[in-house]
Structure 1
């Protein structure tokens, strides 16, 4: 990020998240931010789980939100003017691989950033009850860039 080191970028983005109603409701935490990369975590909480069939599994919309948010923020970190530019999702693809019953961690990396569109790929993992970390969802987002 031009003008930011990794610690500054993480703190700046965490401040944005904390002021965002939905993302703060999820208790989303910025673990790291770098040039074209982003890692976000949502801690496991019963308020985010399914009821009935699949009870206790984190709702799939949480993983989709992580893919969307981490991808868009990763694209933002790759921009020359990351703070002044706008980024909006224009396409999002999510593939669910298995249920999640732990904290969700999204690792995003930019595939390409052009003058008007950026693309990022995201992997979402969760720690399983046995302590192993498993990939639970993958996705790719395309983001319109407004300078």
Structure 2
């Protein structure tokens, strides 16, 4: 774990209203790789009797983890300028527990970046399992980093 990335990324999450409300925690971060977590909360459940976390939370984690991992390719991760241009999420199973996102950089060029993310949760049996996968493309504004 490299604190050089964990601290600025966690500060960014803490200062962001939605990410702060979700309880996003930067568990690990190094150049090209980030692990985030979101604790289970009943406020995140679908509006039904089925106690599953709304799919938008997993999509948010794919988007956020992608942005955070691409921030590690900038000189100043906390103040990097970038924006989502494409987001794809494939849901594999319902989430009924905490969520964890592992993100890796596929490519981070001068103006475009791509990241892959796997979302994990814990089955009732206690086994850690994949809940969703995703990929995001970002426009990177590197000239703002200078």
TM-score range, shorter chain: over 0.9
1:84, distance to aligned residue in structure 2 (A):
4.6
Cα deviation digits, residues 83-103 of structure 1 (max 9, x gap): 453010000000000101010
Number of the residue aligned with 2:41: 45
Aligned length: 142
Q: Does the C-alpha gap of structure 1 residues 19 and 84 become closer, same or farther in structure 2, counting only changes over 3 Å?
A: closer
Q: Distance in 1 between matches of 2:46 and 2:71?
A: 32
Number of the residue aligned with 1:25: 21
User: Any conservation in 1 of the 2:8–2:77 contact (CA below 8 Å)?
Assistant: no
Q: Does the C-alpha gap of structure 1 residues 109 and 47 become closer, same or farther in structure 2, counting only changes over 3 Å?
A: same
Number of the residue aligned with 1:135: 130
User: TM-score w.r.t. structure 2 length?
Assistant: 0.92
Cα deviation digits, residues 44-84 of structure 1 (max 9, x gap): 0000011225x210100000000000011101102344345
What's the RMSD between the two structures over aligned residues?
A: 1.3
Which ranges of structure 1 fall in alignment gaps of 5 or more residues? none
- The SS at the match of 2:65 is helix
Number of the residue aligned with 1:76: 71
1:12, distance to aligned residue in structure 2 (A):
1.4
Q: Distance in 1 between matches of 2:16 and 2:95?
A: 24
Q: Distance in 1 between matches of 2:136 and 2:51?
A: 27
Q: Decide which moves more: 72-81 or 118-127.
A: 72-81
Number of the residue aligned with 2:62: 67
User: TM-score w.r.t. structure 1 length?
Assistant: 0.92
1:6, distance to aligned residue in structure 2 (A):
1.1
Moved over 6 A (4+): none
Q: Distance in 2 between matches of 1:72 and 1:9?
A: 13
Matching of residue 112 in structure 1 with residue 107 in structure 2: yes
